[in-house]
Amino acid sequence: GQVLSIPAPQGAVAAEQQASPSGLIPVGTDGTVSVDDLARASGVTPEAKEELSVAVVLPFMLKEETPSKSAQRYTEFYKGFLIAVDSMRHNGVPVKVTAYDTEGSTAKVRQLTSDSTLKAHRMIIAPDSSDQLAILGEFGRDNGIKVLNAFIVRDECYQTNPAVMQGNIPSQRMIDKAAEAIAGRLAYSTPVFVSLADGANTDKSDFISALKSRLESKGIEWKTITAEAKLTPADLKSLKSDGNYTFIPLSARQSDLNRIMPAVIEWRDEAGLPMVKFVGYPEWVTFRGETLQNMHNLNTTVYSRFFVDDDNVRTRRMEDRFKGWYGAGMENAIPRQGLLGFDTGMFVLDYLKNPVARYDGVQNGYSFTTPEGAEGQCNNVLYLINFRTGGLIEKINL
Tell me, what CATH number does 191's domain have? 3.40.50.2300
| 162 & 207 share domain | no
Quick: pLDDT tens for 319-347. 999 999 999 999 999 999 999 999 999 99
Looking at the domain assignment, is residue 388 inside a domain? no
pLDDT attached to residue 19:
41
Looking at the domain assignment, is residue 218 inside a domain? yes
| 178 & 153 share domain | no
Looking at the domain assignment, is residue 386 inside a domain? no
| 207 & 267 share domain | yes
Looking at the domain assignment, is residue 72 inside a domain? yes
Using alpha carbons, select from 309, 324, 366, 311 the residue that is nearest to residue 343: 366
| 298 & 244 share domain | yes
pLDDT attached to residue 219:
94
In this prediction, residue 199 has a pLDDT band, given cuts at 50, 70 and 90, of confident
What whole-number distance in Å separates Cα of residue 74 and Cα of residue 57? 10
Residue type for position 315: T
- Give the range of the structural domain holding residue 92, as residue numbers without chain letter: 52-169+313-381
The pLDDT > 70 percentage for the chain reads 89
| 344 & 359 share domain | yes
The residue among 359 and 271 whose pLDDT is bigger is 359
What whole-number distance in Å separates Cα of residue 162 and Cα of residue 373? 11
| 178 & 293 share domain | yes
**Contact between residue 148 and residue 122 where contact means Cβ atoms under 8 Å apart:** no
| 228 & 190 share domain | yes
Quick: pLDDT tens for 170-182. 999 999 999 999 9
In this prediction, residue 30 has a pLDDT band, given cuts at 50, 70 and 90, of low
Looking at the domain assignment, is residue 85 inside a domain? yes
In this prediction, residue 23 has a pLDDT band, given cuts at 50, 70 and 90, of very low
pLDDT attached to residue 272:
86
pTM for the model: 0.84
| 98 & 114 share domain | yes
pLDDT attached to residue 63:
92
| 137 & 187 share domain | no
In this prediction, residue 263 has a pLDDT band, given cuts at 50, 70 and 90, of very high
Looking at the domain assignment, is residue 397 inside a domain? no
| 298 & 325 share domain | no
Number of domains forming the structure of the chain = 3
The residue-averaged pLDDT of 144-162 equals 96
User: Where does a domain end: 287, 304, 321?
Assistant: 304
Looking at the domain assignment, is residue 390 inside a domain? no
What whole-number distance in Å separates Cα of residue 200 and Cα of residue 322? 39
| 20 & 91 share domain | no
What is the DSSP track for 254-285? HHHHTTTHHHHHHHHHHHT-S-EEEEE-GGGG
Looking at the domain assignment, is residue 398 inside a domain? no
pLDDT attached to residue 273:
82
Does residue 299 surpass a pLDDT of 50?
Answer: yes
Alpha-carbon 343 to chain mean position: 7
| 215 & 292 share domain | yes
Alpha-carbon 12 to chain mean position: 55
